[in-house]
Structure 1
Amino acid sequence: MLDYRKMYFQLAAKVADAMDILLKAQQEGESEFMNEEPVPGLKVLAIKDEDHDPE
């Protein structure tokens, strides 16, 4: 009989590893972007979240 509990935990561990890899890649990309020289004509815009109630 298959050990579904073991298989589940192996899958969960691999998913956590993948999430860590993606998060690190995102952080490195953001850091690289922030450390570069500004591009002429590039503007950073704040986006209002209309669905969020500030209260």
Structure 2
Amino acid sequence: MPDYKSMYFQLAANVADAVDLLVKAQQDGENTYTKEPQDIALLEKLRPNSRRNK
């Protein structure tokens, strides 16, 4: 008979590892986004009808 308790804990550990990997990937993406220059903000300043220019 399979050891369901062991299988469950192995599955739970692998799911926790996957969640940790996804959280790290999200944090890395957010850090990269915040460190790079924001081209959109620069384009808003160049638009003649932008609300920021008024």
State the percentage of identical aligned residues. Answer: 55
Q: Where is the helix percentage greater, Structure 1 or Structure 2?
A: 2
How many equivalent residue pairs? 42
RMSD: 1.3
Q: Which runs of 5+ in 2 are unaligned?
A: 45-54
Question: Which runs of 5 or more structure 1 residues have no equivalent in the other structure?
Answer: 43-55
Runs of 4+ in 1 over 6 A off after TM superposition: none
Kindly state the Cα deviation for residue 39 of structure 1 after the two structures are TM-superposed. Answer: 1.0
The structure with the larger Rg is 2
